[in-house]
Structure 1
């Protein structure tokens, strides 16, 4: 998707950013959630390339936290980051080799509360020009892309559940080919899909 089609994608994403929605949380399906406590700020980059495909990662299997999981590039806000957007751009550069200068930032979605006590802010953007991913050794096992049509269709999301810390937890999934997109990542993408289809 180049030229005019990317401008159409840009318009759809900008319209989605103006659509009101409730904050999301990993506890959306639970009857009880932990009380108020300080959350650590984080930013993740939901960036679409020139073909209208979302750049995603498969985390390395040897990582201590979330090994092998599908994720958007991003991470916690460091003291040197101005905000969540800066953190998302920095992490995307480190994890997949994306030059921040190539990214047109469109805006942010409401922060998503994770079970690991992060307030994860999704940052929407478009990648300008050619981009060849360079996975960060030891952190990222694979970089792949998912078509906008898959991300934008609420019908591609479903709710599954599993036992976690002695209790049943429900969460969104949006599988794509061999990639099992689930948890917080699927939840924020589902929120985007709902905004794209008000």
Structure 2
């Protein structure tokens, strides 16, 4: 069963960052193609060596919605019954399939399947650093501008909710906090972006921090 909804901004303000200068910065600061030399991951955030293992290619869409009041980032809340990352906040995305032409095709296909975001509303503008997850995926984050006026159709099996976070909140380094937990007897650190009643953490938070670093003024 597919739930119908229209995306809406979930509060917050974007004062001071909504001009064309920021959009131009996004276009010029992001990689034009995935760079194998730019690799982050759960291990890097935790300060641990990179695990040597066979990785499964995957891609996510990092959708920046061009709202009149200022851009926002579209995110999803996963359903609680999923085997991998139940209930977590994530980008639309998933593993690459044989029929995908590349990571962009994977990200766009997954966004269509998971949240019904039609490709005609999406303009790909670049890539963040590749990201290796602790679960064995090599993720390509594909950044795109999304024109308002779209209607989302959520896959109720995978997606409990879709919501938006102001890009101004994401770019503010004061909102980039750290959390930790014990994994196999070792403390593992990760990024957390607490937004209103949302707990954005793990790979999604790390990719948002990577976006903020790339767009930081003066770099």
Say whether the fold is shared (TM-score over 0.5): yes
| Structure 1 position 34, deviation (Å) | 5.0
Residues 1:96 and 1:29: Cα distance change in structure 2 (over 3 Å): closer
In structure 2, the residue matched to 1:39 is 55
Partner of 1:158: 177
Q: CA-atom RMSD, angstroms? A: 2.1
**Which of 19, 23, 33 in structure 1 is aligned with 2:39?**
23
For residues 148 and 175 of structure 2, the distance between their equivalents in structure 1, rounded to whole angstroms, comes to: 29
Alignment of 1:125-164 (within 5 A): 125-164=144-183
Structure 2 CA distance, aligned partners of 1:18 and 1:122? 11
Superposed CA offset, 1:94-140 (max 9, x none):
11110012100001112111001111111110112412222211110
Gaps of 5+ in 1: none
Residue 24 of structure 2: SS of its match in structure 1? Answer: helix
Partner residue of 1:171 out of 190, 203, 208: 190
| Aligned partner of residue 152 in structure 2, secondary structure | coil
Q: Measured at CA, do residues 91 and 6 of structure 1 come closer, stay the same or move farther in structure 2, by a change above 3 Å?
A: farther
Displacement of 1:62 after TM fit?
Answer: 1.2
Which residue pairs with 1:13 in the alignment? 26
Partners of 1:70 and 1:126 in 2: CA distance: 20
CA distance in 1, matches of 2:104, 2:121: 14
Q: Counterparts of 1:14 and 1:168 in 2: how far apart (Å)? A: 37
Tell me what 1:97 maps to.
Answer: 116
Secondary structure in 1 matching 2:125: strand
User: Which of the two has greater strand per residue?
Assistant: 2
1:53 CA displacement: 1.0
Q: Secondary structure at the match of 2:198?
A: coil
2:83 paired residue number? 64
SS of 2:44 mapped into structure 1: coil
Deviation at 1:141, TM superposition (A): 0.3
CA distance in 2, matches of 1:34, 1:11: 34
Give ranges in structure 2 of 5+ residues lacking alignment.
1-13
Spell out the pairing of 1:176-187 with structure 2 (5 A cutoff): 176-187=195-206
Q: 4+ residue stretches of structure 1 with deviation over 4 A?
A: 18-22
